[in-house]
Structure 1
Amino acid sequence: MSDIPAARVLPSKESTLFKELLTLYETRQLKKGLKTADLILKKFPKHGETTCMKGLVLTHMGRREEGVDLVRKGVQLDLSSHICWHVYGLIHKGEKNYKEALKCYTQALRYDKENLNILRDAAQLQTQLRIYDGLVETRHTLLKIRPAMRQHWIALAVAYHLNGNLQEAKQVLDLYEATLKNVPDRDVEHSETMLYHVRLLEELGEFTEALAMLDVNAKSRAIVDRTAIMEIRARLLTKLGSDEAEHAWRVLVEHNAESYEYYQGYLSNLGLTLDAAGPTAPQSLAVLQEFSTQIPRATAPRRLALTIASGEQFRELVKPYLLSGLKKGVPSLFSDIKGLYHDQAKQQIIEEVALDARDQFSFAEPSSSAAEVEPTSYLWTLYFLAQHHSSLGRHAQALEILDAALAHTPTLPELHMIKGRVLKRAGDLYGGARCQEDARFLDGQDRFLNTKSAKYRLRAGMVEEASALLGLFTKKDAATPGADLEDMQSLLYLVEEADAHKRNGDLGPALKKYMAVNKVFDDFEDDQYDFHGYSLRKFTISIYLNLLTWEDRVRSHPAYIKSALAASRIFVAVHDDPSIATAATATGQLTGAQKKAKQKAKKAAQKAQEDAKKAAAQANNNDDKGLEPAHKDDDPDGTKLLQCTDPLERAASLLKPLATFADKNIDVLIATYDVAVRRKKYLQASKALALAAALDTEHPELHIRRVEFRQTVSSLAEPPQVLGPILTESSAKLLPDEVSLETFNSQYLQRHSASAPAILAVAKVLVKLQTPREQVEETLFTALDGSASLDIKTALAILAFLRTIQSPREDEFRTQSGEKFELSTVFKPAAELAELRQLALKAPQAVPDNAEEIPEDAVPPASASKPLVK
C-alpha cells in the first residue's frame, strides 16, 4: 500500500462503492452507476479514478462532451493510475482515435504491467494500426501470464506470422500442439488450427512436411473441412511435382465441375495455360474437350475452351454453346461470352452463328426443324443480337431488333431493360430512363427492376424522381430513402447520386455523397477491429489472415477510386475558384432542383434531430441502456464542406491511399499532380508526371500537365536551393527545353489529329498559351470532322470547354454534335430536354393486362423489407 498515492486510497465504504460502480458500468446499469459515482465524489471530489468512471458513464448516456471533460480531469488528478489511463483509452477508442488510445494503454501498462484487459485491448489496437513488432511483445506477455489458454498460443503464432517471422510462428505452433491432450473428435477449432499450421508450412516452402501433416490429420478426422483438404492437397502435390497431382485436381473438378480455378489448376499442373496465343493452346483445348465429354452437363470447360480456340475450331465449339443458351433462354448468355469480343474474328463468327440461329428459330417460314423449337428461342436470339450490336456501337441496328422483339413479346422486362441500355449508350438518357420504367411496371414488386429504373433516372439527372422510386423499398421510418441507403453502405447509390448532382452542377450535394463513400471505407477499416479478438477466440485463423490482407487493400475498390478522384477534382476547382463555394451559399443563385434538395435536406435534419431527442429521452428513462442520440447533420447539402478552408489538404488525404493501390492508374497520377503542384509540392508533382509518362506518354491530360509544369517551374521567382536543379531536370525530361511550347503543342496535334480527346487537350494548351479564341475554336471544331474519333462524352467535354471560354460558337457546336449523334438527346436545347424529362415520367408504353393491379406508387409487401441495394 506504500506505493499507492494517498489521494487514491478510499475508506472501506467508498472502496466498496467504487467496486460496485465498476460492476454497474460493465452490466450497463448506467443510471445507478452515475448515482454511485456521485456518492463517492460527494466526499472525495478529487478522486481521479471515480471522476474518470463517472465521465465514462456519461459518455454512454449520450452526454459525451461532459463525460470526456470529466475523464480528462480525472487523468490529471491521478496520472499514475492505470484505471484512469485505461478509461481515457476507452474514450479515444470509442472515438476511433486508435493511435491516442494505444498511447493511453501504454501508459496504463507502465503502472499495471500484467493487466489482462489492458493487454488484450492493446494487442487489438496494435493489430488495427499494423504495429506488429509491439504486437509480438504484447502477445508474449499475455502468454506468460496465462500459458494454459490455448488462444494465447495461437495469437502469438499469428503475431509472429503478421510480423514476417514465419519460423518463429511455426515453433510456437509446435510447442502448442505438444501440450494438447484428449482433443475431441471433429473439433472445429482444432481443425482450423491444423489448417493454419499447414498453411504456415506451405508459406515456408516446406511442402513435404505440410503434405504429411495434412494427410495425417485428414485420416484422423482432425481436419473436418473436406473441400479445403482436397484443394490444399492438390496445390501441395503440384508444388512437389508429384505424379499424384493430376489425380488430385481431377477429383476437385469432379467435386465442382463449374469452378474455373480447378480447371486452371489442372492445366497448370500439366504445364499448360489458357493463353490462346501460347504454344500449349492445342493441348489445353484437348484437355478441356475431354472434360466436356466426361462431364456433359458442365458449362465451365466448354466456356474455357472458347477462350483458347480460334478459327473454324472456334466456330465448331461456339455454335453448340450459343444454341444451347438460346434454346434454354439464358438471359446472361451475352454477359458470359462478351469477354471474347477482344478478338475481332471471334466477334464475326459469333454474329454469324447468332444470325443463323435467328433464321432457324424464326417461324416466318415453318420447317421441320423449327417445329421442335420453342417460340422463346427466337425471342432470346433477338435479345442476344441486340446486346451484340449495342456493344459494337451499332445502336440503330440494336433498336431495330428490339422493336421486333417487343412486337413479338411486349411483356418481357429484359427487352425493355436492354432497350434502355442501348438508348443510354446512344446518348438518349431520358429515353433510357423511360424504358427502364416500362420494365419496372411489368413487375411492381421486383426490387432489381426498381433499382435499375432509379439508377437510370439518376443517370438522366432526375435525382428527386429517383429518390421517390428508391423509397418504395427502403425503411419507412428513415429520414429519406437516401439516408437509409447511406446507412446500408450502398456504394452503387452513393456514387450514382453523387455523379448525378455533379452533372447537374450541384457541387455541394455531389461532394457530400462522394465523401459519404469515403466514410463507408472508413467504416470498413474500423469494422475490422472487433474481428481481432473474435477470430482468435473462434480460431478462424486462415480467414482472419485473408481479412487483414483484404483490409490492407480495401481502398483499391473501384467505387473508392472513382469517388476520391471526383471529390479531389471538386476540391481543386474550389481552390482555383473560391467563388464556386460562395455561390453555393447564395439562395438566390440556387436552381429549382437545388432549392428543392435543400428544403428536403432541412426536413430530414429536423426529423433526425427529433429522433435524437426521443432516443435521449429513452436513455434517461431506462437504467439498463445508454443510447446515444442520433448524429445531427449540420451540413445536409454539403455547403460547409464546399467552403472548407483546406480543400487541397482534404484532396491530398483522399488520394494518399491510392499512391500504393492505384499507382498504375494514370487518372490517379494526374489528380495527384494537380493537388501536389497547388500545394507547392513540386518534387511530388514531377514524380507523378514521370510515372504517368511511363504508363502512357501520349495521354491527352498528361500533354496539358507537361506544358503547365514547364510554365510553373519557369515562373518560380526563387526556386528552392536544393530542389531547383532537380525540378529543372525533371521538367526537361518531360518536355525538352529546346522545344518551344507552341511547337510541342502543334506536333502533338499532328500526331493525334484523329483523336477528339487529344484535340481538346491541344485547345486547352492553346488557352494557356494565350492564343486568340478564334484559333482555339477552329481547333475544337476539327473534332467534328469525319476523320476524328469523336464520342458523346468527349463532345460534351468540348461543349463545356467552349462555355468556359465564353465562345459564341457554343450553340453551333451543340447543333452539329446533335446532327452527328442522331439518336442522342443530350445536345438538344433546354426546352426540348424539359419535354423529354416529362415524357420519361409518363405512364409506361407497354403495360400488361393486369397493370391496374400494380400502381406506380405500389407499396411492397412486408416480406420485401430488406435493403434495396447493397
Structure 2
Amino acid sequence: MPPKVVQLSTKERAQFAKLIQEYETRQYKSAIKTADSLLKTQPMHGETLSLKGLVLASMHQREEGLQLAKQGLRQNLMSFICWHALGIVHRMDRNYEESLKCYAQALRIESLRNYAPLIDARLILLRAQPQLRVNWIALAIAHDLADNKKDAVRVLCAYEDATHDVPSGDYAFSEVVLYHASLLDQLDEPQSVLDLLESQQDRIFDLPSITQLKVNALEKLQNTQQAVQQLRTAIGQNPEDTSTIRRWICMSSQHQQDTHREQYVFKLLSDLQAEYPRSTALRRIALELAQSAELFAEHAKNYLEAALKKGVPSLFSDVKSLYVDQAKCHTMESIVENFRKTCDPSQSEANADPPSWYVWAMYFLAHHYSYIGQEQRALAYIDSIIAHTPTMPELHMTRARILKRAGAYQAASDSMEDARLLDGQDRYLNTKAAKYLLRADKVDDTIPILKKFTKPDIPDPVADLVEMQAVDYLVEDAEAQVRIGDDALALKRYDQIDKIFAEIYDDQLDFHSYCLRKMTLRAYVSTVHFEDNLYARPTYIRAAYGAVQLYAKLYDSQQGSDDHKAAKQQQRAELLATKQSLRDKLKNDTSSKSQENPNQDDTPPKIDQDPYGERLLSSTTLLQDASRFISRLQESAPHRIETWLAACEVGQRQESWLLVLRAVVHALRIDPSDPRVHEHLIRFRLRTKAEDFEENAAQAYKQALEEFPLLGAPVQTVHTEYVQRYGQQSGLHLVGAANGLWIIDQTNNAQPAAHLVWTLLESPQRPGIPSLENAYALLQSIDAQTKLPTDIQPERFAEQAQKLWPLAERFQSDQVVTQNAANRASERAKWLPTNNA
C-alpha cells in the first residue's frame, strides 16, 4: 500500500515555494537549508525530498541526489514534481531513456502549459518576497503565457511604479520596459505604447526595438508622416536592413498614383543611395521595385557587373528570387552574357580585364542555365572554367549541383568529392560531400568523411552526430537506408530523430529560470512559443512521415506470404554481411586511436543496446509504433498534409475507417489536388460503404458527405472528376491519375493506366525528373503484376525518358552507370596523388 501523502500547512507551502525559487535562481546552498528546515517538520514530504535531490545533483552530488529523488518519488507516486525532478536528474546523467519515461509520467499526471497553477505559485512567491524584481516579472510572464495580457500589463505597471532610482545602464530594466511595450502592442493600444516609450526613453538601450515599436504604434494611429520619420532614422542606424527599407518605401509612396509611383520610389532610392553609397541592400531592392524593362536593365547592369568584378560567389543565390519574372530573367542573362563576351580573354589579346571577371561571369551563367533547365549548356560553361581554374572548390561544387538537378546523382557525388579533395579540412565541403554521397546511396562511403569531425574514440561516427543533434544528416541517412533496403537502420535513424526532438523540447527546462535571471524576456516568450511548435518543424515532419511510410511497408511485408518473408530475410542477411566488414574496420581503427591517445577522454561512450535497429525491426506492434509519430503530427502540425496522409496509411491497415474518414477530410481541405490524397480517397471508397459506420460514426460520415460529396460517390466518378480537374495540372498529377485508375481495377485497368502514363511524354513542356521517376516506378509495378505489351513496357519508357534527360541515371542501364563511374575514377586518379584527401 503506498504511503499517505503529506499535506503542507500554509506556512510550509510558502517555504516550499521559496525552495523552488532558490533552485530556479541557482541559490543551491540556501535551497539545501530551506529543504532541511522543511524536512525537520515533514521528513516524509516527497516533493521536498525530490527537490533536495535535484539540488544536490545540480551541485555535482549525483549519486546522493538520485537516491533522494527516488526516495521522494516513493513517498508520492502521483506528484508530477517528483517525476519531473527525477527526470531532470536522469537527464544530467545522460540517461535519456529513463528521463523520457519520467517526463512522460509527469505529463500524464499534470499536463504541460497548465498556466493557472503557475500563476498561483508566482503570486505566492511575490507576496512572500515583493522586494525581488524576478518575482514581479515571473508573474507577468505567467499571465502573458496564459494569454492574460491585460493582467500581465497591470503587473508590469505596478512594478515600474514601485521602482525608483534605476541605475544608469540597467539593461534588465530596459528589457522589462520593452517587454511591457510589446504587450501593449499586442493588445492594440498604440497610444499607450508611445506614452510608455516616451516616458522611459532614457532607460532603454535597444534603439532598433524602440523604433520598430514606435512605427507599429504610429501606423495603427495612421500617423504615417511620423512613422516614415522613425523608419528613416532606423535606416540610418542600419542601411543594410532590407525589411526596414522596404517598409519605409511602402509607407512613403502609399499615397502616390500608380502612374507616378515607380518614378517617385526611385527618386527616394536615389536620395538614399547618395547618402549611403556603400549600401548593397539599396541597390538590391531597386531590382525588385523596377517595373519598366529599361529601368530594370539599367540597375541590374550596375548591380551584376559590380558583383562579378568583386567576385561574389553568392551572386546567383542573391538574384534567384527575381527569376519568377521571366522578363527579368532574360534581361539578366543578356547582361551577364555581354559582360562575359567583353571579358573573354580568347576574343582579344589586348583585353586588359582581370581573368577573374571572366571566371565569375561563367560561374554565374552555369548556375543560371542549370536553374532554367539547360543543363547541357550549364555543364559546358562550368567544364570550361574548371579547365581554366581547376583548383577552385566552388567550381566543382557548382558542377555537382548541375548534375544533381539533371538526375545524375552518382556523377554529382563524384564532383562534390572532387571539391572536397581540394580542401580536405574544410567542414562545409566535407558536409556537402557526405550529403551528396547519401543522395547517391553510397552510405558506407560517408563514414570516413564523418570521422574527420567526430570523436575518434567512438566506433560509429553517426553516434557522435546523434549526440550533436545533426538531424538534417540523420534524415538524409534514414532515407538513403530505405532506398538501399536497410529498413532496420532506417527505423533506428527515425527513432533517433524523434528522441532528439524530445530532448530539444525538454531542454527548455534550462531556460525557465535562466531567462528570468538574465531578463531576456522577449526572447524567452518567443522560445516558449517556438517549443510549442517544435514538432511542426519541416525536418521533423519529413522524418515522421518517412517513418510512418516505412512502418506501413514493414507491416505489409509481415502480412505477406512465407516465400516473400523468406526472400526479405535473405536480402537482409546479405546486406548485414556486406556492412559488417566496414563496422569491424571502424572498431579496429577506433581501438588503435584510443591506444595512441589514452588520456584524451576519460568518459567512455555510452553503449547503445540496439545500434542497428534490429529490435525496432522485429517489433510485433509496427502500426502502434507508427502511431507515436502520427499523434505528434496531429497535435503540432494539423495544417500539413503529410500529417493526414500518414494517418491514412495506418488507419487503412488497422481498418479504422472513422479515423481514415477524418484524415481524408482534413487532407481534402488542405489540398484536394494532391495525387496522394486521391489515392487514399479511392482506397477509402473501394473498402467502405455507408453501412460500415455505426450510430455516432454515421453522423460524422453524413457531415463529411455534406462537405465533400465525393466521399459517397461511385469510385469511377471520383476518379473521373480528379482527371478532369487536376489530371493536366502537372506531371505528378497525371501519374497520380494513372495510379488511381490502376488501383480501381488492377486487372482490367492495367493497360489503360499504362497508356495514361505514356501520355506524360507527350507534354508540350519537358516533364520534371520526379514525375518521370514516379511514372517509371508505376509502370514497373504494373508490369510486375500484369505483363504489359512491348510498346508500353517500362524499359521503352526509360529509353524515351532518357532522351528528355540524357544525364539522369535512373533511366540508364546499370552497365552504363558503372562504366561512367569508372571513367570518372580514372580521370580523378590523374590528379589525386598531388592532393591531400
Range into which the TM-score falls when normalised by the shorter chain: 0.7 to 0.9
Letter of the 1:312 partner, please give it: E
Q: Taking structure 1 as the reference length, what is the TM-score of the superposition?
A: 0.79
Q: What SS class does the counterpart of residue 122 from structure 2 fall into?
A: helix
Q: 1:795 aligns with which of 758, 761, 772?
A: 772
2:218 aligns with 237
Matched, 1:650 2:625: yes
Q: What SS class does the counterpart of residue 810 from structure 2 fall into?
A: coil
Q: 2:746 aligns with which of 765, 770, 780?
A: 770
Q: Distance in 2 between matches of 1:53 and 1:667?
A: 42
Q: What SS class does the counterpart of residue 380 from structure 1 fall into?
A: helix
2:798 aligns with 814
C-alpha distance 184-590 of structure 1, shift in aligned 2 (>3 A): same
Q: 1:413 aligns with which of 393, 403, 421?
A: 393
Q: Distance in 2 between matches of 1:163 and 1:729?
A: 34
1:507 aligns with 487
1:308 aligns with 289
Aligned ranges 1:520-599 → 2 under 5 Å: 520-578=500-558, 588-590=570-572, 593-597=575-579
Q: 2:183 aligns with which of 184, 200, 203?
A: 200
Aligned ranges 1:56-455 → 2 under 5 Å: 89-93=84-88, 94=90, 95-96=99-100, 97-98=102-103, 100-101=105-106, 129-219=112-202, 222-242=203-223, 243-270=225-252, 272=254, 283-310=264-291, 311-366=293-348, 370-371=351-352, 373-455=353-435
C-alpha distance 527-60 of structure 1, shift in aligned 2 (>3 A): closer
Q: Distance in 1 between matches of 2:120 and 2:319?
A: 53
Report the Cα offset of residue 585 of structure 1: 11
Q: Distance in 2 between matches of 1:28 and 1:196?
A: 29
C-alpha distance 268-365 of structure 1, shift in aligned 2 (>3 A): closer
Letter of the 1:323 partner, please give it: E
Q: Distance in 2 between matches of 1:591 and 1:246?
A: 70
Matched, 1:781 2:758: yes
Report the Cα offset of residue 551 of structure 1: 1.6
Q: What SS class does the counterpart of residue 183 from structure 1 fall into?
A: coil
Letter of the 2:205 partner, please give it: V
Report the Cα offset of residue 605 of structure 1: 9.7
Letter of the 1:796 partner, please give it: E
1:123 aligns with none
Superposed CA deviations along residues 446-504 of structure 1, whole A, max 9, x for unmatched, are 22112121211111111111121121222222332211122111122112211211222
Q: What SS class does the counterpart of residue 818 from structure 1 fall into?
A: helix
Report the Cα offset of residue 641 of structure 1: 1.7
Superposed CA deviations along residues 599-629 of structure 1, whole A, max 9, x for unmatched, are 6568989999999xxxxxx99xx9xxxx9x8
Q: Distance in 2 between matches of 1:499 and 1:342?
A: 31
Q: 1:723 aligns with which of 697, 705, 716?
A: 697
Q: Distance in 2 between matches of 1:442 and 1:273?
A: 56
Superposed CA deviations along residues 823-851 of structure 1, whole A, max 9, x for unmatched, are 1222233344344455566673784xxx7
- Percent identity between matched residues is 32
Superposed CA deviations along residues 74-116 of structure 1, whole A, max 9, x for unmatched, are 766x569x9x996555224442434644788x9xxxxxxxxxx
Matched, 1:697 2:692: no
Q: Is the 8 A contact 2:304 2:336 kept in 1?
A: yes
Letter of the 2:305 partner, please give it: L
Report the Cα offset of residue 403 of structure 1: 1.9
C-alpha distance 230-750 of structure 1, shift in aligned 2 (>3 A): closer
C-alpha distance 823-255 of structure 1, shift in aligned 2 (>3 A): same
Q: Distance in 2 between matches of 1:73 and 1:195?
A: 44
C-alpha distance 733-323 of structure 1, shift in aligned 2 (>3 A): same
Which sits farther off after the overlay, 285-294 or 473-482? Answer: 285-294
Aligned ranges 1:625-774 → 2 under 5 Å: 631-659=606-634, 662-714=637-689, 718-724=692-698, 726-727=700-701, 730=704, 734=708, 736=710, 740-742=714-716, 744-745=718-719, 748-749=722-723, 752=727, 755-768=730-743, 769-772=745-748, 773-774=750-751
Report the Cα offset of residue 744 of structure 1: 4.6
Q: Distance in 1 between matches of 2:500 and 2:678?
A: 35
Letter of the 1:765 partner, please give it: G
Q: What SS class does the counterpart of residue 453 from structure 2 fall into?
A: coil
Q: What SS class does the counterpart of residue 306 from structure 1 fall into?
A: helix
C-alpha distance 602-63 of structure 1, shift in aligned 2 (>3 A): farther
Q: Is the 8 A contact 1:517 1:563 kept in 2?
A: yes
C-alpha distance 262-659 of structure 1, shift in aligned 2 (>3 A): same
**Structure 2 unpaired stretches of 5+:** 7-22, 33-42, 91-98, 594-599, 788-792
Which sits farther off after the overlay, 724-733 or 812-821? Answer: 724-733
C-alpha distance 67-538 of structure 1, shift in aligned 2 (>3 A): closer
Q: Distance in 2 between matches of 1:284 and 1:683?
A: 57
Q: Distance in 2 between matches of 1:567 and 1:280?
A: 52
Letter of the 2:427 partner, please give it: R
Q: Is the 8 A contact 2:396 2:416 kept in 1?
A: yes
Q: Is the 8 A contact 2:80 2:106 kept in 1?
A: no
Letter of the 2:539 partner, please give it: A
C-alpha distance 841-633 of structure 1, shift in aligned 2 (>3 A): farther
Letter of the 1:262 partner, please give it: T
Q: Distance in 2 between matches of 1:673 and 1:350?
A: 46
Q: Is the 8 A contact 1:609 1:632 kept in 2?
A: no
Q: What SS class does the counterpart of residue 345 from structure 2 fall into?
A: coil
Q: Is the 8 A contact 1:386 1:397 kept in 2?
A: yes
Which sits farther off after the overlay, 318-327 or 829-838? Answer: 829-838
Matched, 1:464 2:459: no
Q: Distance in 1 between matches of 2:554 and 2:60?
A: 36
Q: Is the 8 A contact 2:497 2:543 kept in 1?
A: yes
Q: Higher relative contact order by CA 8 Å / sep ≥ 6: 1 or 2?
A: 1
C-alpha distance 448-300 of structure 1, shift in aligned 2 (>3 A): same
Q: Is the 8 A contact 2:685 2:712 kept in 1?
A: no
**Structure 1 unpaired stretches of 5+:** 7-22, 34-44, 107-125, 612-617, 857-870
Aligned residues: 776
Q: What SS class does the counterpart of residue 445 from structure 2 fall into?
A: helix
1:117 aligns with none
Superposed CA deviations along residues 208-232 of structure 1, whole A, max 9, x for unmatched, are 332233233332xx22333333443
Report the Cα offset of residue 282 of structure 1: 5.3
Report the Cα offset of residue 594 of structure 1: 4.0
Q: Distance in 1 between matches of 2:532 and 2:590?
A: 34
Q: Which has the larger share of helix?
A: 2
Q: Is the 8 A contact 1:420 1:436 kept in 2?
A: yes
Report the Cα offset of residue 681 of structure 1: 4.4
Q: Distance in 2 between matches of 1:279 and 1:666?
A: 44
Q: Distance in 1 between matches of 2:335 and 2:461?
A: 46
Q: Is the 8 A contact 2:454 2:465 kept in 1?
A: yes
Q: Distance in 2 between matches of 1:351 and 1:741?
A: 49
Letter of the 2:249 partner, please give it: L
Q: Is the 8 A contact 1:601 1:637 kept in 2?
A: no
1:825 aligns with 809
